[in-house]
């Protein structure tokens, strides 16, 4: 255990202020890397890649070989849970994920919690392989989507602009919608516990679309399910670090931090840095928050913002990251420059 605790990412998560902050990048594996595109082509389609432990291990390791991040994040997707629950899912070229939507409590019978591990077993095998193959100072992060964000895809059937169907559901039938959230809370706890048992040292919950919820609904559908998941995980693993990422929630991140029990929180690009240093970082370690588009732009604009982030948040427990996932058009050489700046090499 003491050897593990020497890993830079785990030190930051335990509240230590590091001379050089550990770093990793959300969506660090993926289409911006030519070697990823090659492996993905070999796998056939995206889901086949997620369920192939050997190839999923390979794409997880690819960014580490180039850039030496302090963490490896399991290669999978937040929509594997609905898929494992029995909801048909496809990733269409240029369109993103497409699911056969569920829009009412009467349709929840289509989901079966008792069979999820049959589909998800290869993911646990990927985690087990990675726990053996990552560099020794590197921390293995498991993840899942938070129930609200996963539900947006399950109900809308794809990425959405206005969240019309899911909002209609939460406002007209909150009790019915909470039955869907209950299923997702349960599935997510089981899924993450299996990842931890296979070797994940930290887990992150992505609540990418938390910011579309008004205040009181955010408490109901983001804070409360997250709190229950953290509680369920800690019942078995009291010291497990959990990183929350409630994107786009502004000042409500304070309630999220105080009420969910997360170990650390990931900040989106819009979070004011001075405010975060004073109010958020005094409570928990923070992670973030470079705009992924600055990683596309590169050059002086990117370098100046990285310096500002390091100056403001580097004074407390901090993990350098983006404020949202890497986008496919990111030039790999800009990621190399970022790594050089953070690592001081
Ligand atoms: O190869 C391809 O064309 C598929 C692109 C892709 C990739 C590389 C998808 C489809 N998912 C992933 C992997 C992935 N997704 C990872 C592991 C890789 C890594 O981080 O290195 C993770 C952590 C995710 C998480 C994820 N998937 C989120 C939350 C994080 C975020 O960026 O907001 C979300 C919202 C998804 C849904 C999803 N999956 C894929 C796409 C294109 C999308 C987004 C669709 C949309 O914008 O609505």
Q: Is 158 one of the catalytic residues? A: no
The rounded distance, in Å, linking the Cα atoms of 69 and 301 is 22
Residue in 189, 188, 201 with CA at minimum distance from that of residue 73: 201
Q: What would the two tokens of residue 16 be?
A: 């230590």
Q: Can you tell me which atom of ligand 1 is nearest the CA of 40?
A: 1
Using CA atoms, how far apart are residues 338 and 23, in angstroms rounded to an integer? 10
If you average pLDDT over residues 298-327, what whole number do you get?
Answer: 98
In this structure, which residue's CA is closest to atom 28 in ligand 1?
Answer: 78
- The helix/strand/coil state of 2 is helix
What residues pair up with 70 in beta bridges, in sequence order? none
Establish if 142 belongs to a structural domain.
yes
- Beta partners for 27? none
- Domain tally for the chain? 1
DSSP H or E segment with residue 150: helix 147-156
Q: Is residue 117 part of a domain?
A: yes
Assess whether 36 carries a catalytic annotation.
Answer: no
Contact 22, 12 (CB under 8 A): yes
Residue with CA nearest ligand 1 atom 29: 206
DSSP conformation class of 56? H
Q: Name the token pair of 91.
A: 């990733």
Q: Is residue 11 assigned to a domain?
A: no
Q: Is 322 in the pocket of ligand 1 (CB under 6 A)?
A: no
State yes or no: is 103 an active-site residue.
no
Structure tokens at 335: 């990621």
126 burial (CB, 10 Å; 0-12 / 13-18 / 19+) is buried
Token pair in block for residue 234 = 């800690």
- The Cα 16–Cα 86 span in angstroms is 42
User: Which of 23, 30, 35 has most ligand 1 atoms within 8 Å of its beta carbon, as the pocket-test mutant?
Assistant: 30
- Closest to 286 (Cα-Cα) out of 263, 311, 305: 263
CATH of the domain at 50: 3.20.20.210
Domain that holds residue 230: 28-285
Active-site hit among 77, 207, 268, 291: 77
The reply to whether ligand 1 has any atom less than 6 angstroms from the CB of 96 is: yes
Residue 336 CA to residue 101 CA, distance in Å, equals 40
The sign one gets for the Cα dihedral 276, 145, 153, 164 is negative
Query: What span, in angstroms and rounded, lies between the C-alpha atoms of 123 and 83?
Result: 13
pLDDT at 2 over 50: no
Strands 202-207 and 96-99: unpaired
Residue 124 placed within a domain: yes
Q: Is residue 34 part of a domain?
A: yes
Tell me the CA–centroid distance for residue 27 and ligand 1, in Å.
7
d(CA 202, CA 83): 23
Cβ atoms of 285 and 15 within 8 Å: the answer is yes
Q: Are strands 71-73 and 139-145 parallel, antiparallel or unpaired?
A: parallel
CA of 342 to the centre of ligand 1 (A): 25
Q: What pLDDT is attached to residue 1?
A: 47
Instruction: For residue 78, give both structure tokens.
Output: 């937040």
Catalytic residue among 124, 153, 191, 305: 153
* Catalytic residue (one of 32, 36, 40, 124): 40
User: Peptide bond before 289: cis, by omega within 30 degrees of 0?
Assistant: yes
Contact, 127 vs 74, CB < 8 A?
Answer: yes
**Model confidence band, residue 4 (pLDDT cutoffs 50, 70, 90):** low
Are the C-beta atoms of 150 and 81 separated by less than 8 Å? yes
Residue pLDDT, tens place only, 107-133: 999 999 999 999 999 999 999 999 999
Does a structural domain hold residue 102? yes
Please answer whether residues 258 and 250 qualify as being in contact, where contact means their C-beta atoms are separated by less than 8 angstroms.
no
Centroid of ligand 1 to alpha carbon of 88 (angstroms): 17
The whole-model pTM stands at 0.97
Handedness of CA 135, 68, 43, 51 (dihedral sign): positive
- The pLDDT tens digits of the residues spanning 165-176 come to 999 999 999 999
Statement: residue 143 has pLDDT above 50? yes
Which residues are paired to 139 by β-bridges? 71
- 8 part of a folded domain: no
Cα 282 to ligand 1 centre (Å): 31
Q: From ligand 1's centre to the CA of 168, what distance in Å?
A: 25
Residue-level pLDDT at 7: 97
| Within a domain: 279 | yes
pLDDT digits (tens, 9 = 90+) for 59-114: 999 999 999 999 999 999 999 999 999 999 999 888 899 999 999 999 999 999 99
pLDDT digits (tens, 9 = 90+) for 178-227: 999 999 999 999 999 999 999 999 999 999 999 999 999 999 999 999 99
Q: Whose CA is nearest to atom 35 of ligand 1?
A: 208
Sort 162 into a burial class: Cβ within 10 Å, 0-12 / 13-18 / 19+.
exposed
31 included as an active-site residue? yes
**227: its two tokens:** 């709190």
Q: In the annotation, is 239 catalytic?
A: no
């Amino acid at each position: 255990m003491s050897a593990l605790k020497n890993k830079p990412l785990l030190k930051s998560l335990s509240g230590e202020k590091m001379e050089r902050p550990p770093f990793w990048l959300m969506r660090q594996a993926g289409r911006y890397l030519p070697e990823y595109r090659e492996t993905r082509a070999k796998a056939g389609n995206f889901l086949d890649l997620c369920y192939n432990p050997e190839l999923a291990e390979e794409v997880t390791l690819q960014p580490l070989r180039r850039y030496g991040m302090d963490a490896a994040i399991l290669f999978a997707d937040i929509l594997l849970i609905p898929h494992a629950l029995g909801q048909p899912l496809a990733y269409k070229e240029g369109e993103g994920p497409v699911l056969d939507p569920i829009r009412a409590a009467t349709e929840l019978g289509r989901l079966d919690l008792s069979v999820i591990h049959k589909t998800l077993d290869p993911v646990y095998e990927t985690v087990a392989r990675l726990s053996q193959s990552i560099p020794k100072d590197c921390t293995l992060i498991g993840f899942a989507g938070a129930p609200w964000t996963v539900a947006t895809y399950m109900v809308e059937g794809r990425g959405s602009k206005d969240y019309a169907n899911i909002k209609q559901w939460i406002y007209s039938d909150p009790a019915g919608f909470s039955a869907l959230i209950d299923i997702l809370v349960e599935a997510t706890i089981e899924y993450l516990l299996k990842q931890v048992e296979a070797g994940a040292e930290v887990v992150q919950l992505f609540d990418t679309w938390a910011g579309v919820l008004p205040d009181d609904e955010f408490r109901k559908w983001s804070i409360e399910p997250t709190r229950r998941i953290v509680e369920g995980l800690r019942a078995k693993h009291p010291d497990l670090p959990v990183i929350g990422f409630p994107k786009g929630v502004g000042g409500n991140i304070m309630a999220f931090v105080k009420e969910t029990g997360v170990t650390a929180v990931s900040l989106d690009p819009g979070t004011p840095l001075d405010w975060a240093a004073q109010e958020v970082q005094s409570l928990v370690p923070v992670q973030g928050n470079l705009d992924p588009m600055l990683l596309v732009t590169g050059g002086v604009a990117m370098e100046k913002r990285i310096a500002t982030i390091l100056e403001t948040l580097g004074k407390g427990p901090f993990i350098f990251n983006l404020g949202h996932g890497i986008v496919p058009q990111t030039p790999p050489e800009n990621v190399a420059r970022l790594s050089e700046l953070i690592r001081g090499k």
